[in-house]
Structure 1
Amino acid sequence: MSALLRSFAVVSLIAIGSAAQAASYQIPENIGYKDVTIIPSNIVDECKELGRQLSGSLAAELTKSGAEVQRVATLDAAAGPVIDIKISNMVSAGNAFIGHRKSASVWVELRQGSEVLGAKGFTRDTMGGAFAGFKGSCTVLERAVLVLGKDVAQWTQSIPLRTGATAPAPAASAP
């Protein structure tokens, strides 16, 4: 076998081994509120896509780093590690004319089976950015949740998963 072919074979085996060890996380397809009664009603009524935008950002960031992601309606910790994330608080003060003062917070638990591997709260504040133009409150809050998705993805990947439990268990065969 030529040296070039051997090198290709080694690189291929390493890539296959890395892909087999990549985590497969479940995340909610639409991230809800931890307690909707503490979220200002104007945010709940007007900014209906924030949960999906947060989920999309988290999924994209995890995928970029090589993790497998399943966006699901209901989390199933028995099927692999789950990222149980809820929007815990939102603040929407100001407007496009006097300046925005917005904040988004999330509470995250990384679970594998019945074990909580880690739990953490994250908050991002934004004023809409310099020269942001006349943007609405939902657009400014979207900026905050997109960055929160990146924050949560980084944190999630810093927590080691239990070995042998990163993929769903094989289905039992019938007798």
Structure 2
Amino acid sequence: MKKLLVLGLLAAATNAPAANKAVLLEVPVTYHADAGVVAKVKEECKPEEQLATRVGEVMKKLSREGTGTVASAAEAAEAGDAAVLRLQITHVLGVGGGAFSGPKAITVNAELLEGGKVVRQTKINRWSIGGVFGAFKGTCSILDRSAAAIGKDLGRWVRDPSYQIKEEAAPKDAEPEKQAAAQ
């Protein structure tokens, strides 16, 4: 039984190339060409910077050295033997008005690259209505909560190749947000 457990652990370790090496977030985080984002929210909240900060902090903790990020233009030279996590924002759901205008969400595509080649990819969407004191928070701070949740999920995803990020359903009160965005 112990031999079987040891063999299972060794097999898992060999199937997890990024689990044993540093993973750096490629910055800047970019937008997909068809990304849906309200211009005012993009300008004021800067979701790409929120993601770079939040996910970068997680990658720094996992790597235990450096900044946790690498500039996209210098990826090959600066990354060394580290894996690179590339994020692309595909949608930001949010308008002004904080929690009063409904929940906020960020959707990103994530790619894990090793040696410049994509070894895994996933899509992640996280919603927030602002938490306990959501009624007193603005749109940007609520989106930052979503960015923090994405960082936490991606931290687990890069460490554990078997971890599947589950699609998060929209909160029940997401409908007012859609109506406000349509106006």
Q: TM-score range by the shorter chain?
A: 0.5 to 0.7
The residue that corresponds to 2:59 in the other structure is: 62
Q: What's the secondary structure of 2:72's corresponding residue?
A: coil
Pairing of 1:26-45 with structure 2 (within 5 A):
26-35=24-33, 38-45=36-43
Please say if residues 100 and 137 of structure 1, whose CA atoms lie closer than 8 Å, have aligned partners that are also in contact. no
* Residue of structure 2 in register with 1:110 after alignment: 112
C-alpha change, 1:63 and 1:37, in structure 2 (3 Å) is: closer
User: Tell me, what secondary structure is at the counterpart of 2:134?
Assistant: coil
Match of 2:121 in 1: 119
In structure 2, the partner of 1:163 is: none
Higher share in helix:
2
1:113, 1:86 → 2: CA distance? Answer: 19
Q: Secondary structure at the match of 1:122?
A: strand
Cα separation, 2, equivalents of 1:135 and 1:39: 20
Give the letter for the 1:127 counterpart: I
Written as runs of structure 1 = structure 2, the 5 A alignment for 1:91-170 is 91-93=93-95, 95-96=97-98, 98-159=100-161
Which residue number in structure 2 is paired with residue 23 of structure 1? 21
C-alpha distance after superposition, 1:134-162 (max 9, x if no partner): 221111111101111111111011139xx
- How far is the alpha carbon of 1:36 from its aligned partner? 6.2
Superposition CA RMSD, Å = 2.7
Does the 8 Å contact 2:134/2:142 carry over to 1?
Answer: no
**Are the equivalent residues in 1 in contact too, given 2:41–2:95 (CA < 8 A)?**
no
Give 5+ residue unaligned stretches, structure 1. 1-20, 161-175
C-alpha distance in 2 between matches for 1:96 and 1:156: 32
Task: Give percent identity, aligned residues only.
Answer: 25
Q: Provide the rounded CA distance (Å) in 2 between the counterparts of 1:74 and 1:91.
A: 26
How much does 1:133 deviate?
Answer: 3.8
Is 1:105–1:124's contact at 8 Å kept on the other side of the alignment? yes
Q: CA deviation at 1:45?
A: 1.8
Structure 2 unpaired stretches of 5+: 1-18, 163-183
TM-score (norm 1): 0.67
1:39 and 1:99 mapped to 2: Cα distance? 15
Tell me which structure has the larger Cα radius of gyration.
1
The aligned counterpart of 1:11 is: none
Q: Which stretch shifts more, 34-43 or 105-114?
A: 34-43
The residue identity in structure 2 corresponding to 1:108 is A
Q: Take 1:25 and 1:152, find their aligned partners in 2: how far apart are those partners? A: 11
